[in-house]
Structure 1
Amino acid sequence: MGNIVTVASGKGGCSKSTTVMILSANLAARGYRVAVIDADRNQSFASWHAQAYEGPPFTCRSEVDHIKVVDLAGELAENHDAVIVDTAGFENLTAASAIGMADHVLIPCMPDRGSVRETMRTAQQVASLSKAARRTIPYSVLLTRWKPRGLSERAALDSLEEEKLPILVQSFGDLADFTKLSFSGTVPTTGKVGDQAGSLIAELVAKGAIPLAKASRVRGKAA
């Protein structure tokens, strides 16, 4: 049985789909059996996968119904190592269902006030759904389009740390390769993007978000 990772934020344009693109392709390149569910009515990820994607194969399905998405994720988890759910950039029942069923929630956050605010709100939503489900739903904040020495990045990080949110060590930098993904079918699995993706995968493995049994496979591919 694979793990379900939901990528969520109430803010559009904070790199949710980009995060899913990078994770899915790089996990597949490392030998993982990966499935992605596009739960956004815009269907931008599913369209990109069907029309542009060129890389290691992975399963892509679409489901925007808040009940059916739970059944589909469970079905895909039976024969995939990781199921990644791409949610809409606004609060809706489908996103809430995807968070409620997740083994781990990733909250992308860019260095701007609106993104930080929505990150906090999404974290509160995860906490509320954890109480409703009577189980802990782990989550992590992924810093995206990040310049480590930027002034806005420093201010954003101070705000996130003040709220004691769990922030991943690995961030996604403000690189041209990330911005080109939606126009290109090629997802880098080497170079700076590949290195950042590999470090993120290793961190998610350590947190139990990605099945621990696959850790040796990740190291083997990276060797």
Structure 2
Amino acid sequence: MAILTVASFKGGPGKTTICQIIAARCVADGLVVSVIDADPTKAMSNWCHDTYEGKPFSCTAETSERSIADLAIGLDEKSDLVLIDTAGFGNLAAAVAMTVADHILVPLTAGAADLNQAEETIKQARGLAAAARRKIDVRAIMNRLSLKTNLTKHAERELLEAGIPTLKSTISHRTSYGEISYSGTIPKKGAAEKEIAELIRELREISWLPKATGQESQ
């Protein structure tokens, strides 16, 4: 029903964490979720198979640009949501993952390099959509923010001035997000849980995610 690719040409903005959050929260809400791990590091698929402790979802490691599109389309036929986690650099597999997507989410931190690479990623996504003659919606999301700092305010101004469409939701720099990689669970209380809930709510409001079909698991 929906293919969402998380992409950035720069390593370190939190693509895998964003995928972990969205996948775990959506499957807990009763959706059928399938993930394609197109990053050679296999961080997402290793986490899913070895560490994750929530309601199960499928996760396939696939880095071949020749296979990603067919795999995504096949999974889309039997899933409510297909998530694709891409490598932290521009490669053909990432380009295919963006071309096959319905929506592309570009995480970035409040640094000059991230801002520049986010802009380049969005430009390429728009070019790929034009070449494929189809509409692919692209948004940025601010991640690992230190709230109320001058750097964060500057990054927000830069995004606005560059005309980069950005989600209102943000993910701040919190220990609980760093713990996801080895705890096997996403935050279920406190400020982090509120940020996750707001992100999921906004993605549903803009029709990037299907509505929940069940209650979140405890």
Which residue number in structure 1 is paired with residue 198 of structure 2? 199
RMSD: 1.5
CA shift, 1:151, in A, is 1.1
How far apart, CA to CA, are the structure 2 residues paired with 1:77 and 1:191?
Answer: 33
How far apart, CA to CA, are the structure 2 residues paired with 1:76 and 1:197?
Answer: 25
CA shift, 1:86, in A, is 0.2
Using the aligned pairs only, state the percent identity: 35
4+ aligned runs moved over 6 Å, structure 1? none
How far apart, CA to CA, are the structure 2 residues paired with 1:84 and 1:44?
Answer: 14
**Residues 1:110 and 2:93 are matched in the alignment:** no
Extract unaligned runs of 5+ from structure 2: none
CA shift, 1:197, in A, is 1.6
Q: Matched residue of 1:6: which SS?
A: strand
Q: Matched residue of 1:140: which SS?
A: strand
How far apart, CA to CA, are the structure 1 residues paired with 2:150 and 2:49?
Answer: 39
Q: Matched residue of 2:173: which SS?
A: coil
Amino acid of the structure 2 residue aligned with 1:144: N
Amino acid of the structure 1 residue aligned with 2:46: S
Extract unaligned runs of 5+ from structure 1: none
Structure 1, residues 85-116: CA drift from partner, whole Å, max 9, x if none? 00000000000000001110000010111111
Structure 1, residues 58-84: CA drift from partner, whole Å, max 9, x if none? 111111111201011111111110000
Which residue number in structure 1 is paired with residue 21 of structure 2? 22
Q: Matched residue of 1:144: which SS?
A: strand
Which residue number in structure 2 is paired with residue 188 of structure 1? 187
Which TM-score applies when normalising by structure 2?
0.95
CA shift, 1:147, in A, is 2.6
Q: Matched residue of 1:90: which SS?
A: coil
8 Å CA contact 2:103–2:208 kept in 1: the answer is yes
Number of equivalent positions? 217
Structure 1, residues 141-193: CA drift from partner, whole Å, max 9, x if none? 11101133111111111111111111101101111111122222122234322
CA shift, 1:221, in A, is 4.9
How far apart, CA to CA, are the structure 2 residues paired with 1:194 and 1:76?
Answer: 28
Which TM-score applies when normalising by structure 1?
0.93
8 Å CA contact 2:7–2:94 kept in 1: the answer is yes
